[in-house]
Amino acid sequence: MSQRKIISPSHWRRRWQRWGIGVCRLSLIGLAMAALAFSQKTDEDDPTDLRVIAMQHFPGGLMDDQAEEGFYAVRDAESTTLGWITRSNPAARSILGYAGPSEVAIVLDAARKVKSVDFLSSADTAGHVEKVRRDVSFWQQWQGRGEAALGDYGQPILVSGASLTSDSIARGIAARFGSEGMDRFFPDDWKLEQIKEWFPQADRRDDTPRAGIFTVHQGEKMLGHVLHSSRMGVQERGFQGSSDVLIGIGVDGRIAGVLLLGSRDNEPYRSDVTDELRYDDGFRGRSIEEITRSKDQSEFLLVSGASTTVRSVYGTVVEMLRRWQQPPTSPALPWQWPMAALWIGAGIWLGTRGDKRSRVVAALMSIAAGIALGLLVGQDQWIGWARHGISWRNALPMLALSAVALMVPAFTGKNFYCSRICPHGAAQTLLSMVVKKRMALPAWLHRSLQHLPWLTLLVIWGLAILGWQLAFAHAEPFEIWNTGFIAFLPAAIFTIGLIAALFLPQAYCHYGCPTGALLKFLTHAPARWTRRDSIATVFVVVAWLVRFVV
Ligand code: SF4
């Protein structure tokens, strides 16, 4: 006779209490983020920062107090105009890099040619921003260009290893000077002239109900189809990012040609692949099946020294053709998304097992994922989202990771992110296995130091609520996994934390990590309202008061 498990009423009461408290705590975090979102003052009408930059470029000049169409004139003592200065916001505000938008000042000389482009602020991670700030050729690329040419995004020089940040700045400048659609990676649409070689008689193009797929016509006669990768939502990453590919398909179902419209990869790879397709297009005349079934990309596209760009372009072509043949119900995912999903899923599964082998497997997997994907949740990211919104295109894996980090502890009382997913926690776990002799801090020191993560968390959020535009990524070591050793503070916290982990297990987690503190807040006393909940409530109330008063 089967025995039914009887769940006592008190068990259910405890479970409901736990969920109720979890919802309250998540709501407190949500309310703090909402207060942050509403407390953002726009200082775009305050030209103080522009005045400082104007004085650097026009020593002795005087900047007007009022702008005309966003341009502040800088004049000499005789009122002769020396030049102008303007900022990329508000046009650049919706153009997001890794974590948020960036803002620059554009200084024009008296002939309205660019004298300088200067950094103002960025919501991106400090390491990426630092890489961009140090790259002289990136900033010099606009010098001497006339104002009328600045709305042309063209093919900007991007900074390797900080391509999203540098790209968002380049797009922000183009947007400031009138270019539309800059919040898309490939804003330019294709034109009939670009496909003349494939369809010489084409005089019209029509949209189809399927995004990114067009028909081309001569009068009423249909000549074929054109597939546009960025409008189909097909992205396959090369060195720096995806490529924008156009494919022509004749009415006979054969490939009329493939064109590389744009690529986020650097030169000379981008030009090499563009030229190869233009002058020796290996796809032309092939059937779709030949391409999608082939295991050898070199049959169609071979450019020595540009293998990564070639792989991404070839992968894009194959995916576009696959979708053309079998319309999918959902857009294809960049390779990071399934990998991130796999990692998170495996982390949760391993989190349900308490044995040492699971711990080691999870740690190795997390470190590999951390190196490959560079995804770690952190306060800078969450504050950036609250302040600037989320770029859904870039942020989906990070959103999933954040959802797991926050929701699982709130509802289960278990912190799977820290125990099995966080690459930095995993690195500490493995290091603590290297040295057998463990240290223990004196009780008084342990008691004092364990408050540090909470204090750091409160300070970070307090400053953010007060509107301080600081690089909060500097308070945590996580961006090192993504950018390498660029910014000093994260590098120092990273190094010291990992060395300490050799002797003091999870030293950084226990005595330094504000993100860990926030997650602990969700898991502590799962079914009980505690002093920490009261403190968090007071914090949120004060944050909202600040939001109305400041
Ligand atoms: S406490 Fe911080 S470093 Fe440690 S595992 Fe959690 S998030 Fe990662």
Which residue among 359, 366, 367, 422 is best mutated to probe the pocket of ligand 1, counting the most ligand atoms within 8 A of its Cβ?
422
Distance 462 CA to ligand 1 centre (A): 21
Q: How many CA atoms lie within 13 A of 128 on its CB side?
A: 28
Return the pLDDT at 440. 84
Buried b (16+ CB within 10 A) or exposed e, 138-147: bbebbeebeb
Return the pLDDT at 202. 94
| CB distance 422 to ligand 1 below 6 Å | yes
Burial of 246 (0-12, 13-18, 19+ CB in 10 A): buried
Q: Are 309 and 273 in contact (CB under 8 A)?
A: yes
Residue range(s) of every CATH 3.90.1010 domain in the chain: 192-325
Q: Are 550 and 490 in contact (CB under 8 A)?
A: no
Which residue among 509, 518, 520 is best mutated to probe the pocket of ligand 1, counting the most ligand atoms within 8 A of its Cβ?
509
Q: CB within 8 A of 434, min separation 6: which ones?
A: 502
Return the pLDDT at 99. 66
Distance 376 CA to ligand 1 centre (A): 9
Distance (Å, whole) CA 58 – CA 515: 45
pLDDT along the chain (550 residues), means of 10: 59 84 94 82 69 94 89 92 93 77 93 94 82 93 91 82 85 86 73 94 90 91 93 70 88 93 78 85 90 84 81 87 66 69 86 81 92 89 82 75 91 89 95 84 93 96 83 88 81 95 94 96 89 94 81
Return the pLDDT at 240. 64
Return the pLDDT at 334. 64
**Distance between start and end Cα atoms, the chain:** 68
Q: Are 187 and 179 in contact (CB under 8 A)?
A: yes
| CB distance 509 to ligand 1 below 6 Å | yes
Q: Which fold has domain 192-325?
A: Sufe protein. Chain: A (3.90.1010)
Return the pLDDT at 184. 65
